[in-house]
Every structure is written in C-alpha cells, then in structure tokens.
Amino acid sequence: MRKFFAPFFAPLLAASLSALVSLGATFTASAAEPQPQPQPLVSVAWLQQHLGDKNLVVLDIRSAIDGGGAKAYEDAHIPGAVHSDYDKAGWRVTRNDVPFMLPTVAELEKLIGDLGIDETSHVVVVPAGVSYTDFGSAARAYWTLKVVGVNNVSILDGGVAAWKAAGLPLEAGVSKPSPTIFTATLNEKLLSRIDDVTRVEGGKNATLLDARPASFFTGKEKAPNAQAYGHIPGAVNLDSASFYDAATNKLKPRSELAALAAQLPAQGPVIAYCNTGHWAATDWFVLHELLGRKDVSLYDGSMVEWTAQATRPIASSRTKWDDVLKALGFGS
C-alpha cells in the first residue's frame, strides 16, 4: 500500500514544503524591510485612521500661548490624546537666569517618559491650530523630542481646530498616560549653543537665520527679556510667520515654502534663532524636516541669552528718534 500511494503523495508533499519555504521567506523579507518614517506633517484624516496604532501617542500641547491649556483640553480633545502644557509642563526652563532654554537630558527623560513616550513611540504633536505662534509651540516640542532621540514625530496639520472643522469626534475629561522609562540619545547636530553662534557670528562659514518679525530684527522693538535691540551681526531675516497661511491656520504649500527658503544661501550650515527659540523652531522645521536641508540647527538661547552679556555684538537700525517715541509712549 505504501508503495502504491507514494507516487500520489510525493508531489503533494513537495508542493507543500515549497509553499512553506516560500511563505517563510516572505515573512523574513517583510520583517527585514525597514518601516517607512512617519511624515513630519500628518493630516486629520491620517490621524483618524491611525488612532488605534500600538505605538502612537497623541500629544496635545495647548497652553496659554494659544488661549487654551488644561481646561481647553479637558473640555474637548482628540480621543486618547494626553495633555502636556507647552508653557507650564517643562518643555522650556530657566537656566543661568535665561528663560525658555532646552531642559537638561535628565529633565527631558522624566518629562517624556511620564507622558508614556519611549524610543519606539510615534508621537503626533497637536497644537491648537490658531496662529503661527501656536504652530511655533508644536515645532519647538517636535524639535525637543527629536533632539533627545524620539525619531518618529509628526505634527497634526491644522491642530485641534482642523480636527473640529472636519467634524471628527472629540472626548472630554483626562486621558492619563502610562509612564514608561525613556532613555535619551542627544542629537547634537540639531542643537546650537552660544559658543557655536559666537564662532560663526559675522562670518561666512554659516548662515545665522533670524526668524523674528522685521521690527525685532531692525531694532524697532524687542522682547521683554532681551537686553538690547537689533540682531546678531551677519544674520539674515526670514520671519517665521511668512511660512504660515493665516487663512487656513496651516503651513503654506511646499512649493511656497521652498520659494521663501530660496532667499537663503543654498550651501552651508544654518543656525536659526529668534528671541527664545520659539519662532525659530518653525524655520528649523520647514528647512530641516519639510525641505530636507539637514545642516540646519536651532539656537534655543537666541536673543535673550545673546544679549544677557553686554559685550556681545549687536547690529541695529534703531535711532534716537525711536527712543524718543518710546519715551512718549508711541513705540517699543
């Protein structure tokens, strides 16, 4: 009997083994294929489809900067989102009497880990979606996460406002994160410190990019914490608001962003700064993340740190008449 059935079963057995080997190879190849990196900007449609993803963390950062904060979050937020107030939770700290600096690695490990974020997470940062300054909050939080080694980060295009406008569901209350252990890996290429700026100030081996409105750049007005009017010598001005479409409360289309960025030298490193590293985060995000210019870093101390020491040089178009107008209450 065994000899009789062997001719019939042998081809079937061989085919089954071949199929198993092929299937195993398929699984092996699939596991070996690198997963695509998340896009820096994701749409509300994308987020709705991926809310159930295992490693996804939706991070609502609304704060007083956008007129919101914890109360706005508790009243209505994207389902499952956790809240971390950009202005109060520790995303920026005072160090050496300079406010709004990047926290220490230990401080960031605790902040990020307590939010349930680790090295495998895909974090979607959610701003309110109400202004270019509000987008700067998201860009700064995004940059901070990237600096300490959270590689998969996105910003929700249009923020909470876009989610609401799409008629998508919201929930009230508080979604409490499950704290985890996060171990930072500092990416020094994304961060410039004052010594880096001192080396390139006034030189030609890097572009200093001032992301503030022109009135700050020229010295017609200054931030309350800055000690002098004007800009770092040799800097060029590209206002972060120019990248933003106030009508849609989103960044402008990529082609328009590229056209604006074309004002900068095409080659060489770029160091973005502003008053406190907030507006400059938008310039960094556009250049580095959306337009793929990988030699761009952010100087978090910016003008507040630069002007804290009176001996550091400043370029300014401010006149005595500006000071007179300020004394009379007509200027800054």
Residue 76: what residue type? A
d(CA 183, CA 206): 32
Q: Collect all residues with Cβ–Cβ distance below 8 Å to 190 and sequence separation of at least 6.
A: 143, 146, 147, 284, 288, 297, 298
Catalytic annotation present for 274? yes
State how beta strands 250-251 and 244-245 pair.
Answer: antiparallel
Helix (H) or strand (E) holding 282: helix 279-284
d(CA 32, CA 11): 31
DSSP output for 137-175: HHHHHHHHHHHTT--EEEEETTHHHHHHHTT---B-S--
Q: Evaluate whether 116 touches 262 at the Cβ level (below 8 Å).
A: no
The residue from 274, 281, 296, 298 that is catalytic is: 274
For 33, which DSSP code?
S
Q: Evaluate whether 41 touches 286 at the Cβ level (below 8 Å).
A: no
Quick one: tokens of 230? 């004007």
- In degrees, rounded to 5, the angle at the alpha carbon of residue 114 between the alpha carbons of residues 154 and 142 is 20
The residues carrying an active-site annotation are 274
